[in-house]
Amino acid sequence: MRRRWVIAGTTLVWLIAVTLYARQYIIARVSLPDAVGYERAWDWQLFFFGLTRLPLLVAMLALVLWLESRWLRA
């Protein structure tokens, strides 16, 4: 039961951190002085965040969850 709570807590913390990181990433890209047209669109920047940053973040979450499950099994 403890293992389930630890994994759920880790996933929740990861989700909050990724949300804050995505927001910061988008705000930084949209507020660039030379950003015009589609470059100023939040959905466009969110798409590129999902394309470039999110796969690495998901892989890191998977690694952390795997390590936690092995550590808590012992």
**pLDDT digits 0-9 by tens, 17-56:** 999 999 999 999 999 999 888 889 999 999 999 999 999 9
- pTM, to two decimals: 0.87
The token duo for 51 is 């394309």
Residue linked to tokens 């092995």: 70
Per-position b or e across 52-69, b if 16+ CB within 10 A of its CB = eeeeebeeebeeeeeeee
DSSP assigned state of 51: H
